């Protein structure tokens, strides 16, 4: 399967962002991409740097205008598209939601972000209700996609549950960056930790993985902080964590790469982690924390 990760900067105008998304996906289609992946909340700036009730006006229903536009493009190109939207489910009820448009344009499925951060510059709990659809892969013309979103990428449980449900590839639309005031060595540690933990999910589950991040500097609208410099570095790795392709830290990119879904079968035969799991001994995982006794 040939896939494309669309790593871009974002501006305030949603229509301009969507036009640039479509242009990049058409570029990927001309290179033979069968699956196109857009970054987290790609229709606008990453608005969670501040808490502002006016931002809820950006949310949209699903199905809605963006799924209609991208569905039409998917059908035109014969491409499966993974998009990331601010979903308005009802008044006062919003989600950070990934949608999958199949190659015939239909809405094949959605995933609502399960793990919601609340950290300086990432005030997502103000905007997003935790997902309630579970960890279910989406069946498409190109395969069964295990779509998760950003903060989910740090949690091995999410990747494992997608793998146990038969996902053939793990996909993470993402918006993550540096505090520009952090020292260079701290910035390097953060980026490397982000890459390393996801490569670990690929290895532990014997699956290829694609992480699509945004890029560029976005100021804090409140002026309280130094803003966020998104570190790009979108990448694809194979089921042994091997890099197949990686985008720059500081430039837009249409990253096109071939992924061999059948290779997972060979890897899982030599590293049968699913066979050797001690499912009889993992009950404590259902507890928040195991207090010393």
Q: Which structure tokens are listed for 43?
A: 């229709």
CA 91 vs. chain centroid, Å, equals 25
Report yes or no on 281 lying in a domain. Answer: no
Please pick, among 113, 124, 218, 237, the residue that the annotation labels catalytic: 113
Please pick, among 10, 40, 48, 237, the residue that the annotation labels catalytic: 40
pLDDT per residue as tens digits for the range 247-283: 999 999 999 999 999 999 999 999 999 999 999 999 9
Residue 237 bears catalytic tag: no
- The CATH number of the domain holding residue 161 is 3.60.110.10
18 — alpha (psi -120 to 50), left (phi > 0) or beta? alpha
Please pick, among 10, 48, 124, 150, the residue that the annotation labels catalytic: 150
Q: At what angle do helices 65-77 and 14-30 cross, to 10 degrees?
A: 20
Residue 113 bears catalytic tag: yes
pLDDT per residue as tens digits for the range 73-90: 999 999 999 999 999 999
Q: What pLDDT is recorded for position 201?
A: 98
Report yes or no on 212 lying in a domain. Answer: yes
Report yes or no on 112 lying in a domain. Answer: yes
Could you give the number of structural domains in the chain?
A: 1
Residue 218 bears catalytic tag: no
The answer to pTM > 0.85 is yes
- In DSSP notation, 115-181 reads ---EETTEEGGGT-PPP-S-S--EEETTEEEEE--GGGGG-HHHHHHHHHTT-SEEEEEE--EE-TT
Residue 284 near residue 290 (C-beta atoms within 8 A): yes
């Amino acid at each position: 399967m040939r896939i494309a990760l669309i790593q871009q900067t974002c501006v305030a105008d949603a229509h301009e962002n969507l036009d640039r998304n479509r242009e990049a996906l058409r570029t990927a289609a001309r290179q033979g991409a069968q699956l196109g992946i857009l970054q987290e909340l790609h229709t606008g700036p990453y608005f969670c740097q501040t808490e502002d009730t006016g931002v809820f006006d950006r949310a949209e229903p699903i199905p809605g205008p963006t799924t209609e536009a991208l569905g039409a493009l998917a059908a035109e190109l014969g491409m499966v598209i993974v998009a990331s939207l601010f979903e308005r489910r009802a008044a006062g009820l919003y989600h950070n939601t990934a949608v999958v448009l199949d190659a015939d344009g239909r809405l094949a499925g959605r995933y609502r972000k399960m793990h919601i951060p609340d950290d300086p510059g990432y005030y997502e709990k103000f905007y997003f209700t935790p997902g309630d659809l579970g960890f279910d892969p989406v069946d498409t013309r190109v395969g069964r996609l295990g779509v998760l979103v950003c903060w989910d990428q740090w949690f091995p449980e999410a990747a494992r549950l997608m793998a146990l449900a038969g996902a053939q590839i793990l996909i993470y639309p993402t918006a993550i960056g540096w505090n520009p005031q952090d020292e260079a060595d701290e910035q390097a540690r953060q980026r490397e930790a982000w890459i390393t933990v996801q490569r670990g999910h690929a290895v532990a589950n014997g699956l290829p993985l694609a992480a699509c991040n945004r890029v560029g500097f976005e100021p804090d609208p409140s002026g309280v902080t130094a803003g966020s410099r998104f570190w790009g570095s979108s990448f694809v790795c194979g089921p042994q964590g091997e890099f197949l392709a990686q985008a720059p830290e500081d430039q837009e990119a249409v990253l096109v790469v071939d992924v061999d879904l059948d290779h997972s079968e060979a890897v899982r035969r030599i590293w049968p982690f699913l066979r050797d799991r001690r499912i009889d001994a993992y009950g404590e995982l259902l507890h928040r924390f195991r207090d010393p006794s």
